[in-house]
Amino acid sequence: MPGYRHGAIIAPAGPVKPEVVNNGAAFLESRGLRVSVMPHVQDGAPEKYFSASLEQRVDDLHRAWRDPEIDLIVCARGGFGSMQLLPYLDWNLLRSRAVPVLGLSDITALHLGMLKNGAGIPVSSVMLSGMMKAGEFTLRSLRFALGAEEGTFELPAQLLKDGRDFTALPRALNLSVAAAMCGTPYMPDLSGSFLVLEDLNEPPYRIERGLMQLQMCGVLAQCAGLAFGQFTGCGTTDEMELIYRKYAAYVDGPVWTGFPFGHESGIAALNWNVPVTCRGGGLAVLQAQPGLLRA
C-alpha cells in the first residue's frame, strides 16, 4: 500500500483459510508492503467460529500495536468474535499510535470500540479475504482512504430522500453488529455522522429489528445523513425498498440506497477520520489533511 511500510495481518473474529492468509500476504507484498502474519491467526479454537482463543486474538492485536515498525493493520476476515475482545483490550496502548485498522462486517465492533476510546484509525474497507479479487474501484478507493491519492473521490448512490447538504465523518457499520453494540460501554456517540449500513443473509424482519434498535436509541435521528449499502441475501428488492423508505423517515438529513459498501464486489473504503461531503444530493470523500493518516 503506497505510503505504508509494514502491515500486520490479524484475525480478531472468524477462522481464516490458509490460502487466504498466504495469497493475501503475497498480494500486499506485491504492492510494496512488508507483511507480518501475527502468530495466532490460524491457531484455531474449540469454538469453530473463532480463529483462535480470546487471549490469543487479543495478544495478536496488542503485539502488532507494540511493534513500532508496523504502521497498518489488516483484518483477515469477519465472521464473529470482534465484540468479545473489547473488554480485554489495552486501550491506553491503542491510543498510543494512530494505526489504521482495515476491515468491515464483524470488525464493526472493533471499529466502534476504537472510536469510543479514541484509539487508532478505523477504516471500513475490503479485508484480506477480498483483496485478491478486488476491482479497480475498490483498490482506488482504498488507496484514497489511506491518503495515497489526491483530490476527491466520488461515491455513487441513489438519492432516496433529499435533505440538507453536509460535511460529516463517515461511520460504515454492519447493521446487526451495530445494533448488538447499543447499550454497551463500547458504543460511541454517532451524532452528526454520515452513517452507512450493510448486512448479509439476514431476513427482512431482522433488518427491520436492527434499524428499529438504532431508531429507538436515537442514532437515526441524530446522524447527518444515511446510506443503505449492500444488504446481500436479505430479502427481495421490494421488501428492502419498503424497509428503506420506512426508516428514512426517521432521518432529518438525506438518505441514499445502493451505496457501494458491504459483502459484494466494488465496495468503497471509508476512513473514519476523513469527511464525506454531500452537495446537491451527490456524495464525495474529501481529501485528507497531510499527516492525518500516519501512525
Q: What tens digit of pLDDT does each residue of 44-93 get?
A: 999 999 999 999 999 999 999 999 999 999 999 999 999 999 999 999 99
pLDDT(96) > 70 = yes
pLDDT by residue (tens digit) across 210-260? 999 999 999 999 999 999 999 999 999 999 999 999 999 999 999 999 999
Indicate where the chain has its CATH 3.40.50.10740 domain(s). 6-133
Q: How confident is the prediction for the chain on average, in pLDDT? A: 95
Residues 38, 8 contacting (CB under 8 angstroms) = yes
pLDDT(164) > 80 = yes
pLDDT(279) > 80 = yes
Residues 9, 74 contacting (CB under 8 angstroms) = yes
Q: Output b/e per residue, 133-150; b: 16+ Cβ within 10 A.
A: ebeeebebbbbbbbbebe
Nearest in space to 247 (alpha carbons), one of 197, 201, 212: 212
Question: Measured between alpha carbons, how far is residue 237 from residues 212, 244, 258 in Å?
Answer: 20, 10, 11
pLDDT(190) > 60 = yes
- Collect all residues with Cβ–Cβ distance below 8 Å to 56 and sequence separation of at least 6: 40, 43, 45
Indicate where the chain has its CATH 3.50.30.60 domain(s). 153-285
Nearest in space to 214 (alpha carbons), one of 193, 235, 238, 241: 193
Q: How many CA atoms lie within 13 A of 77 on its CB side?
A: 18
pLDDT(288) > 70 = no
pLDDT(290) > 60 = no
Residues 190, 171 contacting (CB under 8 angstroms) = yes
Which superfamily does 153-285 belong to?
A: LD-carboxypeptidase A C-terminal domain-like (3.50.30.60)
Which band of pLDDT confidence, cut at 50, 70 and 90, is reported for residue 151?
A: confident
The label of the residue with cell 451495530 reads: 178
Q: Which three cell numbers stand for residue 186?
A: 463500547
Helical ranges in the chain per DSSP H: 18-30, 54-66, 82-85, 91-94, 108-117, 128-131, 136-145, 175-181, 204-216, 219-222, 237-248
Q: How many CA atoms lie within 13 A of 171 on its CB side?
A: 29
If DSSP codes are grouped into helix, strand and coil, which group holds residue 91?
helix
The amino acid present at 280, given as its one-letter code, is: G
pLDDT(160) > 50 = yes
Q: How many Å apart are CA 113 and CA 103, to the nearest integer?
A: 13
pLDDT(289) > 70 = no
pLDDT (0 to 100) of residue 222? 97
Which superfamily does 6-133 belong to?
A: Murein tetrapeptidase LD-carboxypeptidase, N-terminal domain (3.40.50.10740)
The label of the residue with cell 498510543 reads: 96
Which band of pLDDT confidence, cut at 50, 70 and 90, is reported for residue 42?
A: very high
Q: How many Å apart are CA 32 and CA 111, to the nearest integer?
A: 26
Residues 75, 11 contacting (CB under 8 angstroms) = yes
